[in-house]
Amino acid sequence: MSLHPSPRVVEDRREDGDRPLVLSPRQGRGTPPGPTSAARPPRLRVLDGLRILAAVLVLVHHYTRQEVWGRDAFGWLTMVGRYSWMGVELFFMISGFVICMSAWGRPLGGYLRSRVVRLGPAYWFCVLVTMGVMLAVQKPFGGAGPGLSQVLTNLTMVQTPLGSAPMDASYWTLWSEVRFYLIFAVVAWTGLTYRKVLNFCWIWTVASLLAPGSGLPVLQVLANPTYSPLFVSGICFYLIRREGARAGEPWALLLFSWLLMQRWLNDIVQWNTVKGDRLSWEMCLLVVTLCYLVMAAVALGWLDRVDWRWLSVAGAMSYPLYLLHQQIGVTLLTQWHKDVEPWTLLLSAMAVMLLASWLIQRFVERPAARRLKRFLETRPAGRV
């Protein structure tokens, strides 16, 4: 069950050395970071909170759909769930912010290794867990059990361009993320500066405008015009955070990206229409605008007081929660919804998924990321 038609993960700066730097929003352009940019700077925990919020919103969308229960089982929460798939849009903006932050001052090899370390361990484990559940129930939600080729192709994380069905429909966002990482690597290769990053954003925006009518499939794939405004917006919010609110050009690009996004929402609303139950474009635009306003508050430092330690743990759980929740959760809800009271089953499923996500992050992702990082950084004797 896909949120959008083209088959969102967000970066957490832990084992791969990426730590959200708390830069002062009043720091002038070109001014070196202050004391908070030491070797182990404090986390920007509000982003962790936004990550887990986005993941839970997507979970609510999948778990309250009338197609799962055969009816409106949750009243007001069903209505919220009709639009909470837009947690994905928030994910993409956070990704633009954090990827730009994590690549700044880092060589290309370190940037690419950090992406593999961050995304790989939890993803590979969740693919295998999903495979086990799908095989165990024999006829899971979404069709027959997976074949060996499908499982192996999914382990590459590029099953979408390879034309293989995803193990979980939520994986479609990974292809958008991977494309962003790869094209951003081009500018990261020569070292990031304020001007280079803004030029990259303008070039990507122009490519996104040209792609739909170009007749060039490769440009359409690389530009990802439907979602590129969100990644570009996240980058602009980071530049404002880094350079200060008086940096005018990022604000201009943000406004243009918002205008592009409201256009693409027309298509996204159509893609998410189920059985004639058309969504409100106006409501979707309101939600996207709220996402922009929240990210602007982060960029301006207005939410820096949201610094609770537990948010770091919650934010770390968001990635495995996103990877794990849909195929397994909807399969089990479909199996048991006739036998268990709806609210009891819903809350139980959410609790199980949150617990499973914490266990995966604590006992699988963290130790595996440490080992993978050491492995990738090991060089042959005598090599520099």
Q: How many CB atoms lie within 10 A of CB 357?
A: 27
The Cα–Cα gap between 226 and 207 comes to 12
166 assigned to some structural domain: yes
pLDDT of residue 380: 72
Structure tokens at 182: 């790869």
17 assigned to some structural domain: no
**The residue to which tokens 């002038």 are assigned:** 28
pLDDT of residue 137: 80
295 assigned to some structural domain: yes
pLDDT of residue 144: 59
Q: Which alpha helices (H) appear in the chain, and where do they start and end?
A: 45-63, 66-69, 76-83, 87-103, 108-137, 148-154, 172-189, 194-214, 217-223, 228-243, 248-271, 281-299, 310-336, 342-360, 366-377
Residue 176 structural domain: 35-371
Q: How many CB atoms lie within 10 A of CB 342?
A: 17
Structure tokens at 39: 């070797």
Total domains in the fold of the chain? 1
321 assigned to some structural domain: yes
53 assigned to some structural domain: yes
> What does the radius of gyration of the chain's CA atoms come to, in whole angstroms?
21
The Cα–Cα gap between 341 and 347 comes to 10
pLDDT along the chain (384 residues), means of 10: 40 40 49 40 86 97 92 93 95 97 92 94 96 78 73 95 93 95 93 95 97 93 96 98 93 97 93 76 96 97 94 96 95 91 97 97 96 88 59
- The alpha carbon of residue 351 and the mean position of all alpha carbons in its chain are separated, in whole angstroms, by 21
Structure tokens at 265: 């929402």
Structure tokens at 186: 């081009």
pLDDT of residue 139: 59
378 assigned to some structural domain: no
The Cα–Cα gap between 192 and 199 comes to 11
The Cα–Cα gap between 198 and 253 comes to 9
Q: How many CB atoms lie within 10 A of CB 371?
A: 12
Residue 3 dihedral angles phi and psi, to the nearest 5°: -75, -45
Give the three-class secondary structure for 84. helix
265 assigned to some structural domain: yes
The Cα–Cα gap between 137 and 333 comes to 12
As a dihedral over the C-alpha atoms of residue 210, residue 295, residue 56, residue 228, rounded to 10 degrees, the angle is 10
pLDDT of residue 365: 96
The Cα–Cα gap between 210 and 89 comes to 22
20 assigned to some structural domain: no
